[in-house]
Chains A and B, each alone.
Chain A
Amino acid sequence: MNPREDKILMSHGNGGRMMHDLIGHLFLKHFGNKILEEQTDAAILPVDTPEVAFTTDSFVIDPLFFPGGNIGKLAVCGTVNDLAVSGAEPRYISVSFILEEGFSMQELEVIVKSLAEEARHAKVTIVTGDTKVVNRGKCDKLFINTAGIGMVRKKDQMVGKARNIHPGDVIIINGTIGDHGMAVMNARESFNFKSPVISDCASLNHMIREILDRSSGVKFMRDPTRGGVATVLNELAAKIGHGIEINEQALPISKGVSAMCEILGFDTLHIANEGKVIVVASEQESKLILEIMRNHPLGKQSAVIAHIVSDHPGRVVLKTGTGGKRIIDSLTGDPLPRIC
């Protein structure tokens, strides 16, 4: 890119020549595609299903870089996954940057590059965008908003809606929980844990598409991001009016995450994930779905972690490894470390 400036200046957002340069030398260079290169005020998009899914998400993560990704990669994965768990095939995304005056041009390019790379990997096209620069101190380095559009086949329209779920149905997750939240916290705070906790940040659309192509038995899908698995299951229990029983011993949790949560007093079920999907299916259908998931690189550690039960309607209960049972609530407030 053009090395003329090494910091973001207010002029990079004023609509003039410097902004034009930034778009040309950075954004178009990495995001470039036919639709974007038209540089129209709005992208004109071909669609191939009568219904489309549409979602938006903003990314304000601190720190911008963490083991396993950065804010750019995350901005693609987050929106792609929201579309995918709604049964859509993600196709187009928009990317808007809010940049703080003085932000490093070099870091911006790293972020833009990994955003572009993840978009290519997820097979979504960046079709429109926007750049604003705000005075120093008016935002925290860099914020990104992405919105996305996906195509929805008729047969997949119900997978986000949690219909026809009955006691006996099973809940599957595609691998270890809590990795993203703890990786970010480890990077942000000064714990100096020498742990190899790496964010699970990943676009799940290819794996989900494979599941939906080969099975018609998915009754519900959701990505357990902020609030973790506990929050998704509580929302689900409230919606369907049945109970959910989690089997603690079946929960895939990495050693590093488990140790960090023990030390800081967090419940792993409340910690954020960015590359996980919760799938609800009948027990019978779950065998096929598990097989598909385990054969995918993002689902090798897939497991049945919970069941829909007729007891305690609307509540989520954990069957503990020690034989007891306890209620699992949604997360209240931010997870805070305990004093003792």
Chain B
Amino acid sequence: MRYVDEYRNRELILALSEEVKKISKKEITLMEVCGGHTMAIHRFGLHSLLPSNIRLLSGPGCPVCVSSQHFLDTAIAYSKIPGAIITTYGDLIRVPGSVSSLEKEKAKGADVRILYSVLEALEIAKNNPGRPVFFPGIGFETTAPATAAAIVQAKKENIVNFFVLSAHKIMPPVMKALVDEGVKINGFIAPGHVSAITGTAIYNELAAGYGLGVVVTGFEPVDMMQAILMLVRQIESGTPKVEIQYRRIVHPEGNRIAQALLIEVFNHKDDRWRGLGIIRDSGLKIRKDFVGFDAEVKYPVSVPEPPDPKGCICGLILRGLKKPGDCRLFATTCTPSDPVGACMVSGEGTCATYYKYRR
């Protein structure tokens, strides 16, 4: 398959891995922030191709994993409103809230529909006038523009029964928060699709202020190996900076139209991250101009803040302080078919990835 096979070329991967082994001297830790990167590393067995002085840590970049239980409980509460339709991306429906999940509510009779694009929710809203259609919005700068576009479109078409529960988040604040908290990282393998939207300036402070290498990276094994090589070069030469590996997609200035949409629809808010607590200015809240589409404003529900499940160390795993194998629930009481913590639920969660590929 074009644009896939060449980036999975075995000889290229091995050549890059040899070069990494040749020049890498220091003990270093690199964090792959995005769940898609964690998946790729394990799916293609990249860790086995790295020298032992390079450690890879999985970061908090799986949107399902970092969405708080409170958010899920709110979505579940909406599903119980008479006539309500919950429209959601597929990976949210099995995620356990404190006592239920959207999948379980669907079995009990709630109208829960899986979408491939948020714009389908607008069609559903148009076809069901009088019924509130909710969209629990999760994801980072990659998926938030699509939600923003749907909200703008809904306003244009005067659709009055479409409501977004925004748990959208942005990447840089959590990356800084991790370093501030003392997680020892030498460089970030940064998500390529985020920068396809935002550009690369969002990481300037990490490089200049924190002295960390940041390489914006694609999702195929050749991409990742090349990014690791670029980070090793930066670190070995003591010249941390922001570089783009994923040049075939990412431009330094990003996608201006998508950026404008994000600014038009959302402003920043302090937001709760599962396992990490509240991080300043890390979430996206719907602006007053679009308040008619803000589920939290139009349908306020009171949902208690649930405690994290007993024994679950998702928070430490999301911070890169522990690995799934350190959790006593891992692969015993917590499995993909009966997940306890969020990292096991999403296919891109660190625990699910370890369970799938490295158990």
Cβ of A339 < 8 Å from any Cβ of B?
Answer: yes
Question: Chain A contacts of B90 at CB under 8 A?
Answer: 336-339
Q: Considering only CB atoms and an 8 Å cut-off, how many residues of chain A contact the other chain?
A: 24
Q: How far is the CA of A255 from the CA of B3 in the complex (A)?
A: 13
> B143 on the interface (CB 8 Å rule)?
yes
Binds B, one of A91-99, A232-240, A324-332: A324-332
A15 sits at the interface (CB 8 A): no
In the bound complex, do residue A324 and residue B44 qualify as a contact, i.e. CB atoms below 8 Å apart?
yes
Cβ-based interface call for A190 (8 A): yes
Q: B131 contacts which chain A residues (CB < 8 A)? A: none
A162 to B184 Cα, complex, angstroms: 51
> Is B8 an interface position by the 8 A CB rule?
yes
Q: Which listed segment binds A: B20-28, B274-282, B313-321, B351-359? A: B351-359
| Residues of B with C-beta under 8 A to A190 | 116, 120
| Contact A326 B193, beta carbon cutoff 8 Å | no
Q: Are B44 and A320 in contact (CB under 8 A)?
A: yes
Question: Is A340's beta carbon under 8 Å from chain B?
Answer: yes
Is residue A323 within 8 Å, beta carbon to beta carbon, of the partner chain? yes
Residue B96 at the chain A interface, CB threshold 8 Å: no
Once A333-B94, A336-B91, A340-B36 are accepted as A-B contacts, the answer to whether A323 and B359 lie under 8 Å apart by CB is no
Question: B120 touching A322 by the CB < 8 A rule?
Answer: no
Please tell me if A259 contacts chain B, counting CB pairs below 8 Å.
yes
Assembly CA distance A340 to B65 (angstroms): 13
> A322 near B138 (CB under 8 angstroms)?
no
What residues of B have a CB within 8 angstroms of the CB of A321 in the complex?
8, 10
Q: Does A258 contact B (CB under 8 A)?
A: yes
Q: What's the nearest-Cβ distance from chain A to residue B191, in Å?
A: 9
Q: Which range contains the number of B residues in contact with the other chain?
A: 35 or more
A340 touching B45 by the CB < 8 A rule? no
B336 at the interface (CB under 8 A from A): yes
Q: Does A265 contact B (CB under 8 A)?
A: yes
Q: B143–A262 contact, CB under 8 A?
A: no
Residue of chain B at shortest CB distance from A249: B10
Q: Kindly identify, within residues 92 to 132 of chain B, every residue whose CB is under 8 Å from any CB belonging to chain A.
A: 92-94, 114, 116, 120
Q: A320-B45, A323-B14, A326-B43 are in contact. Are A336 and B4 (CB under 8 A)?
A: no
Most buried by B among A258, A321, A322, A337: A322
- Asked if A48 is at the interface (CB within 8 A of a chain B CB), the reply is no
Closest A-chain residue to B17, C-beta based? A323
Interface mask (A303-328 → B, CB under 8 Å = 1, otherwise 0)? 00000000000000000111111110
B294 on the interface (CB 8 Å rule)? no
Contact partners of A338 in chain B: CB under 8 A: 89-91, 347-348
Please judge, given known A-B contacts A189-B116, A323-B45, whether A339 and B63 are in contact too, CB under 8 Å. yes
> Chain A's nearest CB lies how many Å from the CB of B219?
10
Residues from chain B with a CB closer than 8 A to the CB of A339 are 63-64, 89-92, 138-139, 143
Say yes or no: A323-B13 contact (C-beta < 8 A), given A191-B116, A258-B1, A339-B63. yes
Residues on the A chain within 8 Å of B1, using CB:
255, 258-259, 262
- Residue B302 is within 8 A (CB to CB) of chain A in the complex: no
The residue in chain B whose Cβ has the minimal distance to the Cβ of A317 is B357
Q: How far is A326 from B358 in the complex, measured between Cα atoms in Å?
A: 7
CA distance A123 to B114 in the complex (A): 41
Interface residue B337 (Cβ < 8 Å from any Cβ of A): yes
Closest to A266 in B: B347
A259-277 at interface with B (beta carbon < 8 Å): 259, 262, 265
What are the residues of chain A within 8 A of B44 when measuring CB–CB?
Answer: 320, 322, 324
Residues from chain B with a CB closer than 8 A to the CB of A258 are: 1
What's the nearest-Cβ distance from chain A to residue B147, in Å?
Answer: 11
Q: Is the CB of B46 within 8 A of A340?
A: no
Question: Is there a chain A Cβ closer than 8 Å to B60's Cβ?
Answer: no
Among B61-109, those with CB < 8 Å from A are 63-64, 89-94
> How distant is A228 from chain B, measured CB to nearest CB, in Å?
15
Instruction: Tell me if B324 is interfacial: C-beta within 8 Å of chain A.
Output: no
Distance (whole angstroms) from the CB of A101 to the closest CB of chain B: 22
Tell me which residues across on chain A come within 8 A of B34, comparing CB atoms.
340
CA of A251 to CA of B236, assembled, Å = 41
Contact partners of A324 in chain B: CB under 8 A: 44-46, 48-49
Complex Cα spacing A339 to B193, Å: 12
Indicate if B155 sits at the interface (CB-CB under 8 A): no
- Are A326 and B357 in contact, CB atoms less than 8 angstroms apart? yes
Chain A residues with CB below 8 A from B259, complex form:
none
State the Cβ distance, B15 to closest chain A Cβ, in Å: 12
Across the interface, name the chain B residue whose C-beta is closest to A336: B90
Q: Does B204 contact A (CB under 8 A)?
A: no
User: Do A336 and B193 contact each other (CB < 8 Å), given the known contacts A321-B8, A322-B13, A324-B45?
Assistant: no
* B347 touching A265, Cβ below 8 Å: yes
Hey, what's the 0/1 contact readout for A169-210 against B, CB within 8 Å counting as 1?
Answer: 000000000000000000001110000000000000000000
Task: Quote the shortest CB–CB distance from A231 to chain B (angstroms).
Answer: 13
Alpha-carbon gap, A191 to B116, bound state (A): 8
Nearest CB in chain A to that of B142: its residue: A340
B42 located at the interface, meaning its Cβ lies under 8 Å from any Cβ of chain A in the complex: yes
Q: A262-B1, A340-B36 are in contact. Are A326 and B94 (CB under 8 A)?
A: no
User: Chain A 31-60 against B: per-residue CB contact (8 Å), 1 yes, 0 no?
Assistant: 000000000000000000000000000000
Q: List 9 A-B contacts (CB under 8 A).
A: A255-B1, A320-B45, A323-B45, A325-B45, A326-B358, A327-B357, A336-B91, A336-B93, A340-B143
* B residues at A contact (CB < 8 Å): 1, 4, 8, 10, 13-14, 34-36, 42-46, 48-49, 63-64, 89-94, 114, 116, 120, 138-140, 142-143, 193, 221, 335-337, 347-348, 355-359
Leading 7 A-B pairs by shortest Cβ distance: A324-B45, A336-B90, A326-B357, A339-B89, A332-B336, A332-B337, A337-B90
- Given A326-B358, A332-B337, 10 more A-B residue pairs with CB atoms under 8 Å apart are A255-B1, A262-B4, A321-B8, A322-B45, A325-B45, A332-B336, A337-B116, A338-B90, A339-B92, A340-B35
